[in-house]
């Protein structure tokens, strides 16, 4: 057990409250293990009829995974990083296949690993504080934890846009895109949780009663532009389309992309293309684990974490330095299946 996650049963609901406020509740290995153990125990417990996932205090639901640990491990033999990914992805898959209803309260920052434990939930609650993003290309990683499954299933090319740019969405935008199922004012969350714990057979009705009309979703005015300019699965063609457009919005997005790792932007585009064609979430996680096992030990991830998280100079030196230098063979190597004895597997 770990103090970083508070596990309890409240009425008829199991409750998982992330409890690392100083790290904005970023996931570590003991937290993932503890959540898996609790979910497996509750799965066969008739007294637990639903599961609530939230955070204990502070300004975010979950800011991601333990990035510093991953980079330190990647700089060595990568064993610790692979162990974390393997366990985290098992948690993601367990939630995706869980028979009992899960309610995730995405109140505040919901990024990376936080997306991975909220998107599998049947009910996903956004608030005025929600800030949702998959910002991994900025640190040389890629939108994992099922990003290759969820993002290509969003409207048009919005998923590719989010994966490449790391754009942040507010709660209203999450609701409009289907990343959230309900929009509640944060002051109603305590009431929602209390009522769900007492009446887990009425979750949809309770959340519906407490929902309010969300503000206009700003991203929706850009969807046509996103679909046009991010239409290609070729990163070079997307950059060329943005450059040719020349408009203010396109120039802003182009400047954003110029700061990202060319390698992981190409990884993300292929990941979403292939993930959108998959029919099995476990197959998606198997592929993401193969990608993650390699990327975590590559230059761009270690350099990205140095530049943005450790030294904070915000000037990563990507290698390969340009999209053209990232060859198809290079990407093929990253996507190659792992040997049978190293592959990711779901919980037995």
Residues acting as catalytic residues: 65, 113, 136, 144
Alpha carbon 179 to chain centroid, angstroms: 11
Distance CA 142, CA 263 (A): 9
For residue 73, CA distances in Å to 68, 158, 266, 333 come to 9, 33, 24, 21
For residue 16, the cross-strand partners are 7, 53
Which H or E element spans position 287?
Answer: helix 281-295
CB 280 within 8 A of CB 346: no
Whether 316 contacts 277, CB under 8 Å: no
Q: In this structure, what DSSP letter does residue 65 have?
A: B
Rg (Cα) of the chain, in Å, rounded?
Answer: 20
CA distance 199 to 203: 7
Look at residue 124 and give its three-state secondary structure. strand
């Amino acid at each position: 057990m770990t103090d970083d996650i508070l596990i309890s049963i409240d009425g008829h609901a199991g409750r998982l409250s992330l409890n690392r406020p100083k790290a904005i509740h970023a996931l570590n290995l003991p937290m993932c293990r503890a959540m898996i153990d609790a979910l497996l125990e509750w799965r066969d417990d008739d007294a637990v009829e639903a599961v609530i996932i939230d955070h204990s205090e502070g300004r975010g639901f979950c800011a991601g995974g333990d990035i510093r640990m991953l980079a330190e491990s990647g700089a060595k033999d990568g064993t610790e990083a692979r162990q974390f990914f393997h366990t985290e992805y098992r948690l993601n898959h367990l939630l995706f296949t869980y028979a009992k209803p899960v309610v995730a309260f995405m109140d505040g920052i919901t990024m990376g690993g936080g997306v991975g434990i909220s998107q599998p939930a049947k009910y996903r609650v956004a608030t005025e504080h929600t800030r949702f993003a998959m910002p991994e290309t900025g640190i040389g990683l890629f939108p994992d934890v099922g990003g290759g499954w969820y993002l290509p299933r969003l409207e048009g090319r919005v998923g590719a846009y989010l994966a490449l740019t790391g754009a942040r969405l507010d709660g209203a935008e999450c609701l409009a895109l289907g990343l959230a199922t309900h929009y509640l004012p944060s002051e109603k969350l305590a009431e929602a949780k209390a009522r769900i714990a007492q009446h887990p057979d009425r979750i949809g009705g309770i959340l519906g009663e407490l929902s309010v009309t969300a503000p206009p979703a700003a991203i929706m005015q850009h969807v046509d532009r996103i679909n046009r300019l991010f239409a290609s699965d070729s990163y070079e063609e997307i950059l060329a389309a943005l450059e040719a457009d020349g408009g203010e919005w396109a120039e802003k997005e182009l400047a954003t992309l110029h700061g990202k790792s060319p390698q992981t932007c190409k990884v993300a585009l292929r990941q979403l293309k292939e993930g959108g064609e998959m029919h099995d979430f476990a197959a998606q996680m198997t592929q993401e684990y193969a990608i993650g096992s390699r990327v975590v030990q590559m230059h761009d991830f270690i350099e990205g974490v140095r530049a943005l998280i450790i030294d904070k100079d915000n000037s990563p030196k990507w290698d390969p330095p340009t999209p053209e230098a990232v060859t198809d063979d290079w990407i093929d190597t990253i996507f190659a299946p792992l040997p049978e004895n190293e592959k990711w597997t779901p919980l037995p």
